Amino acid sequence: MTPEQIDGIRKSSKLAGESLIYINQFVKEGVNTAYLDRKIEEFIRDNGAIPATLGYNGYPKSCCISLNEVICHGIPSENTILRPGDILNIDVTTILNGYFGDTSKMYWVGEISAEARSLIETTKHCMNLGIQQVKPQNQFGNIGFVINRYARTKGFSVVYEFCGHGIGVKFHEEPQVDHVARANSGPRMKEGMVFTIEPMLNAGHARCKIDKHDGWTARTIDGRLSAQYEHTIVVTSTGYEVLTDVEGEYPL
Ligand code: MF3
Ligand code: CO
Ligand code: CO
């Protein structure tokens, strides 16, 4: 990407990150996920952008909201109502002036189990370990290598059927960013590359099954919990910049 393009992606990414902060106040017991989707869509449009998922390959909503055993691509619905003990991922992708930004984080309702807390913390740490691998000349495989190695020490499995992806002037582009990979494998990172790191960790088995009826919702095969975090990142001359970071958490 050129510096001008990176600047455009940075602005879109900031907006996607801000939408995840904005929605926090609405995540409460009794709220349905279609309502959260509407609030997200309103926020995105009020800020001059478009939700990228709306109509993407026929996807019907402005974000993905994935509860409990849903790994990713949960479709917001009036029938999905938040209950105490639920954990959920909200994944937002914005298009601002033609540039894409993609990010997701975890939320929870009331008291959650020790397993749920550990899964959420471990998933965020895995994403951060992956982000710390981003620098010119490092190989993409090292991202998946450190993510999977750490997840396993905590007894969790890493989903290998969905990956991070190049992003910027399209939603999904090259390269594919695996979250399970061999050390020192894959292409090398170059200054100006923009891509996501978005590991999904499961409490039990790594595999997913896609809902037969809606064709989108990916669930764990054993019904156990899943968590995900995602950031959009650019390779800089010395390392990385997390474009969707709005809380000043990075660089680590
Ligand atoms: N935001 C998701 C990602 O991280 C993609 C969602 S595509 C949709 O790549 F169609 F399911 F919305
Ligand atoms: Co993504
Ligand atoms: Co996403």
Query: What is the per-residue pLDDT across 11-66, written as a single tens digit (0 to 9) for each?
Result: 999 999 999 999 999 999 999 999 999 999 999 999 999 999 999 999 999 999 99
Is residue 37 lining ligand 1, measured as CB closer than 6 Å?
A: no
Tokens of 86: 């639920």
Task: Give residues whose Cβ lies within 5 Å of ion ligand 2.
Answer: 102, 196, 198
Q: Which atom of ligand 1 is nearest to the CA of 93?
A: 1
Write the residue with the smallest CA distance to atom 7 of ligand 1.
53
Dist. CA 33–CA 137, nearest whole Å:
41
Confidence at 239, pLDDT banded by 50, 70, 90 = very high
18-48 exposure pattern, b = at least 16 Cβ within 10 A, e = fewer? bbbebbeeebeeeebbbebbebbbebbeebe
Is residue 102 lining ligand 1, measured as CB closer than 6 Å?
A: yes
Dist. CA 63–CA 86, nearest whole Å:
18
Strands 200-202 and 226-228: what pairing? antiparallel
Please tell me the predicted confidence (pLDDT) of residue 156: 99
Residue appearing with tokens 């478009």:
50
Q: Which atom of ligand 1 is nearest to the CA of 230?
A: 4
Is residue 240 lining ligand 1, measured as CB closer than 6 Å?
A: no
Please tell me the predicted confidence (pLDDT) of residue 208: 98
Strands 194-197 and 226-228: what pairing? unpaired
Write the residue with the smallest CA distance to atom 8 of ligand 1.
53
Is residue 53 lining ligand 1, measured as CB closer than 6 Å?
A: yes
Is residue 13 lining ligand 1, measured as CB closer than 6 Å?
A: no
Dist. CA 79–CA 60, nearest whole Å:
15
Confidence at 214, pLDDT banded by 50, 70, 90 = very high
Tokens of 242: 């997390």
Confidence at 162, pLDDT banded by 50, 70, 90 = very high
99 Cα to the center of ligand 3, angstroms: 14
Please tell me the predicted confidence (pLDDT) of residue 189: 98
Pick the CATH number of 3-242 from 3.40.630.30, 1.10.287.3510, 3.90.230.10, 3.40.50.410: 3.90.230.10
Confidence at 184, pLDDT banded by 50, 70, 90 = very high
Mean pLDDT of 70-90: 98
Mean pLDDT of 145-164: 98
Mean pLDDT of 190-208: 98
